Structure 1
């Protein structure tokens, strides 16, 4: 909520700032004077959600004194709760901000008051939801709840999330926040989960059994198509790909497949936490459950309908499960290597949290050695979260070594690495309330660039689409990031009301996004598709048309280089050799149709830059692109047999300029 409503003198509070502060003070006195654990339950329970809303309002508006008072009341109540009902109540209404007719607002003396709600409740805000999730998780830290209450709460919300497909009425906001909480708990509280493995193993078994039935249904459908018949002759050619490859489809089938993949990934992550954590104490029943899980894992791994990333994760878990088989648990079985790798992995993660730079660097070295050795003890979600947090480090030695770790991890888990890096790179920029500084986002951009170059020809499908759309979104429009704490003396604004410092930051992140997009186009253009190429060209032309100031030179350079990458792809300049047929005539024809519609625009815009731009490098790049454009037009209009030779010769001149 913005803090500008206090400027309106016509707003009459329902409860004044003074009265609300006094009410909190009375509650504080009662709780401190009577240390009975039953008293917080009687006093706070009826006002739990309003107290939660007040806490978040105080924090979001920078009222630290109010926040410290309310969060202490909340933690006292949560800590004395006998079960998980208090946590469940907050989690179910985590975005609660007030009643239908009232809300919290800034008080006249800098505090908080209760007033009539104006304009109804606000819509869903992604950045607000993320902040609420983090605040909720803070209630669990520092022994905020007992281990039993924590496990009961986790298992309850896990069952709710896993059963979402069977629910008649599903609240998408609640499911979103529930998933965020589950993911955070998996990354932060592994040891607490490992203390109660039995129920988690039973849930994992249920998920695997249900997924096996789903795969058997797909196999049955596929066999029906293959059965010889006159009706089936036409289906042999048009046999549909596995569900996870239907990236262009948008229907219910793809949505269901994505849900199933999410569910299976969550179950496998839980299983990995249980079997990889050295503090896990397995009972005889737990050992039996683990033995029962292995055939299901093998069946799902062997299925042609299983996503490749899921298969990789399952193979790692299968390797870990051998530790719990009867043969490997015998005294004569050599398990020292995996045990040693477990200890090294936990040591590396603990080193990453150390304040000393050399210690963190050594932790990165240990982690990279485990990744390069394809160790099965690596937990992908936890490792990625830790590595992304290391990219925020200001020390170049730390974040450069982090990029090396991410590049190594890309070889085995390209989809997961790319997805998490893209999410961190975007940093809620649509809402303008990101948590990262510009330099931190640029370092994430370096990691993404290294990931793209590492993927090479494997940059295809959903991974390529997700990356390209995110980079186009970032590069296509100006976004101003509104920081919560502004310095007392802001830089002067220009005549159009733009902050020059913010404008320079905006251009740097857009240049970064264009550079990553250009690298993706040059690395594997066939993996992106004509639709992505079309959008990329439109963004580049718009930038070259609108961003004419001297400060935008680097952004224009990136746009010109991106256009050149498309032209190189059309004539095979960056395709890694071979003939036109080997590089994919069908794909190139689709891209040529995109370029042909824009030839006159590119000629006009880029040609004008080649003569008039104030930046010498932009002029040089623009002139070379003009030559290459004419080569592309000549090749595709003439359709001569020397198309590759001519295009390769012309585009060879650009590589020395573009590679600067």
Structure 2
């Protein structure tokens, strides 16, 4: 028989396939050891006097000896010869021996060692002088099943700090390189799973936890580390899309924990791999986790990871790099879209991802729209990104970012033969002006190059395309602000002698395109729905022109006006242009001595006044009564209407006439005051309903805010609100009160309170019913967290209503107080709700004590009963709190007794005050007084909660004052 076979045969005596009862385990193990030693030809050194733990440890020691001997024989036999083969039975035997080694050897000894570390005793623990540590050279197929056990013992002792090391327990320094080699051999997923198992099983050992974290970081920076982490959490099965939030948060915590020494190097390594995981097509769970991790990193403003993420995603779109592949920009775009699709719709994240690249994205969209051979899928992707950004960001941010389009000189977009896109050096060229021959003029007219919106000079951004994009966002506020800013820029550019005339022309074309696109009344109403900004610009423009260049006195003789300048008289809405007028304005004889001077300020005045007429035309109720700024504009128009050039004088007089007629119509028609900012309540209601159906949370929250403002007492629309709409609004609030978002449910709470306060008081009965329903039976003890939260929020609404009632509470007290008292007395109701009901009863007492006075006896006896039954002595100590278990019916939580004592105190004080003020006899019988005094005295001296004892003493003092009032003192 070979030595290998003999060793395996000896090891077989340590294994018994039959189960052994625990009572016979020691004798059985001794018999196995005896057979094992007999097979080896040695004598046994252990007898019946040894303990079971000692026998188990000896068995584990010998099992490890067999494994090491087998490994040595295998290593020796493989030198120059073929390796001997082990059968399936032999491998199973070795696995069993290794399991015995860990179960009865490594694990118990390691537990002894770990338990000794916090101890200050210098005496070693018996049996802990050495630790069975399996060698890493053993058979790989057997070893992989016990990686966590090997890591647990090796890390515990291999990285043992000096503060825990002793002479009998030195650090196993030789284990460190072996563990590092093992970690490098294992796939990242297996290594991460093993390290996680060690961390969870030894979470209380600080140096083990830190070492595992260090080793985990080394695994993450391996090429497949990030993907291995996802495989460890979600598994490697494809097409798994069931993603739990706690798993996403776990992955995020792991990846967001860099080494303390080199965080930048760590994030620079893993962030590109997380980004690349967004394109994982076979594992939706991996893609979702990558998006979640990136969104969490982006939420930390100014963080190292956030800067790296934006660099990876933005660089292919922002910079010209001839070395990059033509697919880099396309990959960046698809990655951005995937990240936004798989992340929560956070305006902050959308802004940080898209705002820096809006100018190049718009340039790419213009390039794709201009190229008929463009990829339609890519074009729609770019358009969706821009539209998403425009609908989410604030107006101010949108205007600032869009304005960078005018100065985007980082490069042009080009499409190669393979369909790839890239940025190339250069800026948008301006073609030189050239004269049209009659033949060229005919061709240009036939091709449409002479249309009013034609971009003859190839300026960028192309006016018609940019205006079309702005209108597609459906953001009238953005379009309106862009319009005002264009007007201001056009004014400044006209007055700048060193300005670029092509830039001035670009501003003018954009203004005209916006005006043309909004020429019908329905669209212009959106552009001018909030005209205050435009009116401010009009005032500033007229004021600037009048102070810098006062209107001169007219010459004694006026000649025909021929300016030779590009005019904006077509800025008016619905203005008909007579045929032949363009040819007259096309003549240029400014150099003639008898021509009327027409300066840049005059042209700006004409533009501004035509804009004023457009605003007035779009807002039929706009007058100086609703917008006082029109009074100032009216005064600024007077010198222009008197002394300005004829064309400007005409429009200035027309504007003053319209404004005067508006004001006169307001005085004669009705004393009712119009408000341009006030919308019809039904329109607000419909707008709010539309917003509430939006999938984006901030949009829904805004819709709820509109409804709350609509029913608020300080809202003028609430007085005009149709009562038929109130039930639907109430239902919306009741549904929204269940939302997890605090902004939404707080608005719903305030909205419900406003409904009760301003409309039908019968709503109060329903709120009380919803708060107290189904709390009388046994089902009250099986309430879910959501049900408890909903009732607590209903209680917040009731609290607002109660505090607003004032003396009117006397008429509704019978609706509120008895149901609340029933909730307080019910032991099947969660303690959180009983405490909430006590708080509401306290609100009733504080709001109007007379409403509570008829229920004094029932309330006082109820509080005494509760305190007698639920008092807790100082011996036991609560390990959990009511906040930890909000659905629990455990009535021993201190907050319940505190709430009862608080309510009893204010009930007593309120009754005392009423007795003194009315000189009446308080409803306090001697029996109830004695019972209250005894109960409060007992609680003040024995309750486990210090605050309860203090409140009981204060309540006893208040009771003494009530007793004095009862006897007339």
TM-score by length of 1: 0.38
**Structure with greater contact order relative to length (CA < 8 Å, sep ≥ 6):** 1
Choose 1 or 2 for highest CA Rg.
Answer: 2
TM-score by length of 2: 0.26
